[in-house]
Chains A and B, each alone.
Chain A
Amino acid sequence: MSESLSFAGIEPPSPTLSARLGELADFFAAPTAGRLTDEQRALSLGIARRLVADVAARIDPAIDSAALWADWLLRGIPDAARLVGVCFARAEEHRWRALSAERMVPAPLAGAADEASGAASDAPMTARERAYLGLRIADRRRLDAYGQPKLAIADVDEDIFRVLLHEVAAWRLAEVSIDTGRAASLGDAVRHAVERQADEGGMTAAAIAYHEAVGTALPETARMAIAAHDWPALIALAAAAQRRRYADMALSLLTAETAALPSLLAPLRLDRDALALLEASLAMLPARAVNDADGAAPEAGR
């Protein structure tokens, strides 16, 4: 976009000017389209930064990922067109879950004793419990130690991962090119990282396992997930039921118009009450990338 822009009287345009004009041109092309909020931009960028750091650590833990990121911020982030999709999907899912948790009201503690005695049980796990535990573990891999959202390597599309590996390796090569031994080992590190990713199961694999373990109890399990605001479980069941990737389903759900929810979640055979609760939760999320027909959804920050 920026290369095609020219501005009479200013030659050559500065990168900042080009970026601003590019942004303005995008705006002119679709003036009424909703734009990214600062929160969405910051969350997505943070997710990308943590992904790049994780990819770099897979190649060589000695890579200074802060310097790498600073360099890429100046030059532009590689494979940005594809990277934005996964980062945005993860950011939107995080916003939804954070908002949902913020508004969550713990029920009275009546009945807690029963739950506690259940918690202390030493009974072996059922297949369904084991699958749910796997899903929870895969889900929590998508947060860093400080609770910030990230993408687990296992959840990243193979092509995007490979491109990032090559770009990080190329950046590293420029740094260690005088050390021929270390430069040669980069290629091996990339190959090893690709093989390792292929062996890892992320949210999509965990979702399939959970969906299979749930079996015929799918509608009830999905309904309970909605009642508990257990959105990862709901997205996982919906994704597996339609043989889609977790991230794709998350983005579809988060950008779906209200009227589209029943068909999107049809395989889960949800009743009207469950759908209404889901609709209400989604409606509370500000600045969703969707056109709400009634105009009642908040567009700006809270």
Chain B
Amino acid sequence: MAVELALQAEGLGKAYRRYASNLGRLVELATLGRAERSQPFWALRGVDLEVARGAALGLVGANGAGKSTLLRVLAGTTHPSEGRYRVAGRAAGLLELGAGFHLDFTGRENIALAGMLLGHPRRELRRKEAEILAFAELDEFADQPVRTYSTGMGMRLGFAVATAFDPDVLIVDEVFAVGDMYFQKKCVDRLLAFRAAGGTLLLCSHSLYDVRQMCDEAVWLDGGRVAAAGTSVDVTNEYAAFQREHIEGLARSAPAAARPDAPRVVDARLYAAGTDEEVDEVEPGRSVELRVWYENPTPETTPVHVGLGVLRQDQTLCFGVGTHLDGVDVPGRTGCAVLSLPELPLLSGTFQLLVVLFDGSGVHRYQEHLLARPLVVRSRTKELGLVRVPHAWSVRAGADAPALPASSRSPTGSSTGSSTGSSTGSSTGSPGPATGAAPQPAEGGGAGTS
């Protein structure tokens, strides 16, 4: 392999031992493990990783999926139970900010202690001290006990110490997600600078955005195993799609192999309308068509319908259509359903296209198929929002303007004053004397969005 690997893992697994009783623990220890009394709990299993020097790998997954365990194993604080790994060069694990700090000692003393704990000689620490204090913005407080620091100050110091020593591989466990925006930005900048200098990064985060921004590749861990691996965009999309299903309480369709007779989506792709040119990036108003190739071994007993859901990245469903909703049949053992979307009305954004194969009633889902690439819409206009609604303006001044409704012309009682006020405020903002304050917030909101 031509690529130089900074980090490599083969079949890595970690089992924690669970004992029914403390006596069992003693028996197992006394027999040097020959009389096994523990139940292994596999927090991690069968993980293969290859990270090239200078690359960045993101880890995503639910709580308890094994992300932290994997990072701990790779950082060398806990030992693997099966498989093996290796790290080329010096690895620094940033598993918890401020691990090893002593509250009674000053910031300066803690820098020295933590640095020595990480194996750095004292003279190197003296050289780095000023840089660490500068990054943590703690110059004034360097000789105060850490006990007197705010949470944010402690975190800054921890992050500064751990990243100060130019490791070859930096292993970061979700540590900067806790700070304020300013701190997060500093941390992200520092990690990006670390990468720019050729460092290898292993990052675990619940922020899919961070993973996408900082990592080229990503691994999705689920139940201690690799559920998906690939480019960070693909993996985070897949994970986000899974999360959405999970939240909605939908069972993911069983793999086709498990039920060979079940109808399935063979493939689904997006084309420029009427052509064989595949697209994944369009301007608003472009005409596209979705082709869904399906297989249905038993069309007589299991009629199917095809649907499409278009989701923004925050999982907002922009629109959903289906053959069952439009009264279209999906016949035959094999075929291709083509959905034309003339003049796509979406505005800028990245959208996931989720193809769903329904049963004849349109309730049960045989399969959900996420298009491999999300659809990116790049708008050139300055319209705001999610969709482009067909619209037209006409403005008439003076006597040509449509007459003001009677209800707005005569002032009403104070009990309905506020509702009247807000309705006038949201219109063209005619100066109603009784509700003089109402138009102001509406105008302020308008100014903010334009």
Q: Do A and B come from one complex?
A: no
